[in-house]
Structure 1
Amino acid sequence: MSSVAGSVLRRSARPTLHRAAALSRSPPSSSSLLSTSTSVSGQSGHVASGGAEVYTPAASGPPPIRVSMTESSGRGVFATRPIGAGDLIHTASPMVAHPSASLLHKVCYKCLRRRGSGEIPALSGSNDNVYYFCSEKCRERSKGFLEVESRLNWSAYENHCKERGLKYPFLVKRLACMVVSGTASEDCLDILQPDSIYPEMMREMEEEFELLKLAFVKATIEDALMAFLTKHWYFGVLARIRINAFRVETVGGSYEDLLTSASSSVAADSAVGNAIYMLPSFYNHDCDPNAHIIWIDNAAAKLKALRNIEADEELRICYIDASMDREARQSLLSTGFGFECNCCRCMSGD
């Protein structure tokens, strides 16, 4: 890897309790972040005569959250007004999503909704792969990247990933096709913090990159359209996906049913794919979170308050299964996210 790439991807330290803030950048305004594939609902509050906070639904109004710098964890998401327990704070559509390799024919190729009886098949030319869409709307929204993707022979790249149990390169493949088709910018993930890339990882990543690049070259994609497709770009995108990707676990049913389900467990059998989001990636971690992310029947992420949240309080989610004991949580956070958790629950020994 070039020295330029190394300077971008190697980080001397990882911020504690932080998932995805790009610390070297000036934080964008809350309004610009919230306008990116995000819809918001919330609750307002007032103080009753006895001094207790009373939470009442807000029919409409400004988003109840803002993105600001924290004291020690980079960017974070904060409440701009009281939010009630059980309230749906906001929803976010993925910037990039891809089905699990084992479910390509069982979920919508765009929104990851599980296959039912009314899907619309779309034939991918070069590999004779049939992908399914839950609606004409999803098929139309996939038209750009699918036209590019269907021109390429992905067998070598996909076999390489499947044999090694790799899932994130599929997201890179999807993003590359989106960039070539003009439906995404090559730097759309740059605002997210990259994971550390160590020398032992580079050989495998270089092999993945060469297979991806070869697929585009063999399909005679115009040089100008794939000028962005360099090793530096591939490493940078994969480094950001590695630490910011969410495992999408849908459970179906109604929103009320979902609130009482075990959908937040990382061990659930309901994972349908992986996705990258803008705003949800700015939520920091806590082993005793006040919010969590849920997926009902597709890749639209819904942020829900687990308890009453005060104005100016930081919203935090748990990156892992919160039911694990402290030792297991610390081990998983260290190996999977690169930090030691110092939240109140961990500091108390719970």
Structure 2
Amino acid sequence: MYRYSRWGWQLKRRHSERKLLLGFPFCYSTPTPPENEKLASPGPPPIRVSITEMAGRGVFATRRIGSGDLIHTAKPLVSHPSLSSIHSVCYFCLRKLKPVTSSEDCNVRFCSQECEEQSKVFVAVERKADWSAYDDYCRTRGLKYPLLVKRLACMVVSGVASADCLDILQPASLSSEMISEMGEGFSLLQSAFMKAKARDECMAFLTEQWYINVLARFRINSFRIELAGGSYEDLHSLAAASVETEAAVGNAVYMLPSFYNHDCDPNVHIIWIDNVNARLKALREIEAGEELRICYIDASMDHDARQTILFQGFGFRCSCLRCSSGD
């Protein structure tokens, strides 16, 4: 039901962070939906973020939400394509692109002029550095979160993001061994910027502690982006999608979706239709005051497998109704 380690806050922080929640400008929208998709309401999403008794923050319905309703959408704070998809999806929105038929186009590509325009400032920073060593480090170790750190660092250097923009998100608990292993990634990231002769005043934020703190937040708040291919498939089938890394076109971190707690029998599902913009939809009727929850993993797995993956990946033992019954 809850992700204890992820949202197990200290009591002394609750008052200040409650004020942050009440005033934080969440990045969501409620666009006109397709004919076969209905909105939960025509205005702002019918939800609120509140502090729960045992799981830190949570998202609650402010009124009844119908089964199948689109609750809200969300744009990512940071996103990055997987290395295996980097030439087959838009470098900004991760929309799938037509295959390149010639070997001449080995650069990153965009699906539209709009995406290229929205990313040109931080992409210009990326292009000034040689990332081959950093990307090889990620590729040989099968790492994905350092790619998000690289993207955020370039966004901060370019001025389109602040170095502390993720501070409101809860970090994962890191062992001393994990922290030690992050040192190589930080050194490669810092070296790439130094070789590109980045100005010192722009790099003041880039410390090893910043790298570790950001990576800790990406580890527990990022979503694997699996596109539904432009069609509205059955939500329960999508909820049981494969958890293999190769199935994803990339990864992204969002603000409001990161506040949803886990349940192995969720009442909300997050899907991606044709790009990185997330859609939160109700899987069944939800009453006013009810907490909205999503499933972090493959819901079709058996009880023991779910418990193991949730504990190893998110640091908590699930006690939702389904797990409590041994299902």
* TM value normalised by structure 2: 0.89
Find out whether 1:92 has 2:74 as its counterpart.
yes
Instruction: Work out the CA distance in 2 between the residues paired with 1:28 and 1:250.
Output: 35
Instruction: Work out the CA distance in 1 between the residues paired with 2:278 and 2:8.
Output: 19
Task: Specify which of 142, 154, 157 is matched with residue 180 of structure 1.
Answer: 157
Q: Equivalent residues in 2 for 1:210-249 (5 A)?
A: 210-249=187-226
| 1:344/1:59 CA distance change after superposition, 3 Å | closer
Q: Equivalent residues in 2 for 1:1-350 (5 A)?
A: 16-17=3-4, 19=6, 24=13, 25-28=16-19, 32-33=23-24, 35-40=25-30, 60-116=42-98, 130-255=107-232, 257=233, 259=235, 261-262=237-238, 264-267=240-243, 270-350=247-327
**Corresponding position of 2:35:** none
The SS at the match of 2:200 is: coil
Deviations 1:267-287 (A, max 9, x none): 366411000000000000011
Return the letter of the residue paired with 2:190. Answer: K
**Corresponding position of 1:9:** none
Return the letter of the residue paired with 2:179. Answer: M
Tell me which protein shows more strand as a share of its residues.
1
Instruction: Work out the CA distance in 1 between the residues paired with 2:287 and 2:82.
Output: 38
Q: Indicate if the aligned counterparts of 2:88 and 2:99 stay in contact, CA closer than 8 A.
A: no
Return the letter of the residue paired with 2:79. Answer: A
Instruction: Work out the CA distance in 1 between the residues paired with 2:39 and 2:96.
Output: 32
Deviations 1:13-48 (A, max 9, x none): xx7456457653522466644x43201489xxxxxx
Deviations 1:76-124 (A, max 9, x none): 0000000000000000000000001111100000000001379xxxx8x
The SS at the match of 1:158 is: helix
Return the letter of the residue paired with 2:17. Answer: S
Offset of residue 160 of structure 1: 1.1
Tell me which protein shows more helix as a share of its residues.
2
Offset of residue 251 of structure 1: 1.7
User: How high is the sequence identity, in percent, across the aligned residues?
Assistant: 60
Instruction: Work out the CA distance in 2 between the residues paired with 1:224 and 1:106.
Output: 35
Q: State the number of aligned residues.
A: 313
Instruction: Work out the CA distance in 2 between the residues paired with 1:294 and 1:40.
Output: 15
| 1:30/1:206 CA distance change after superposition, 3 Å | closer
Unmatched 5+ residue regions in structure 2?
A: 33-37
| 1:160/1:117 CA distance change after superposition, 3 Å | closer
| 1:79/1:193 CA distance change after superposition, 3 Å | same
Q: Indicate if the aligned counterparts of 1:17 and 1:342 stay in contact, CA closer than 8 A.
A: no
Instruction: Work out the CA distance in 2 between the residues paired with 1:107 and 1:58.
Output: 31
Offset of residue 131 of structure 1: 0.5
Offset of residue 259 of structure 1: 3.8
Q: Indicate if the aligned counterparts of 2:269 and 2:281 stay in contact, CA closer than 8 A.
A: yes
Instruction: Work out the CA distance in 1 between the residues paired with 2:159 and 2:323.
Output: 45
Offset of residue 198 of structure 1: 1.0
Offset of residue 218 of structure 1: 0.8
| 1:88/1:17 CA distance change after superposition, 3 Å | farther
Instruction: Work out the CA distance in 2 between the residues paired with 1:225 and 1:62.
Output: 37
The SS at the match of 1:142 is: helix
Q: Select the structure with the greater relative contact order (CA < 8 A; seq sep ≥ 6).
A: 2
Q: Indicate if the aligned counterparts of 1:107 and 1:133 stay in contact, CA closer than 8 A.
A: yes
Q: Indicate if the aligned counterparts of 2:239 and 2:298 stay in contact, CA closer than 8 A.
A: no
The SS at the match of 1:262 is: helix
Q: Indicate if the aligned counterparts of 2:303 and 2:326 stay in contact, CA closer than 8 A.
A: yes
| 1:241/1:92 CA distance change after superposition, 3 Å | same
* TM value normalised by structure 1: 0.84
Q: Indicate if the aligned counterparts of 1:21 and 1:191 stay in contact, CA closer than 8 A.
A: no
Unmatched 5+ residue regions in structure 1?
A: 1-14, 43-55, 124-128
| 1:157/1:318 CA distance change after superposition, 3 Å | same
Instruction: Work out the CA distance in 1 between the residues paired with 2:3 and 2:99.
Output: 46
Instruction: Work out the CA distance in 1 between the residues paired with 2:29 and 2:191.
Output: 39
The SS at the match of 1:327 is: helix
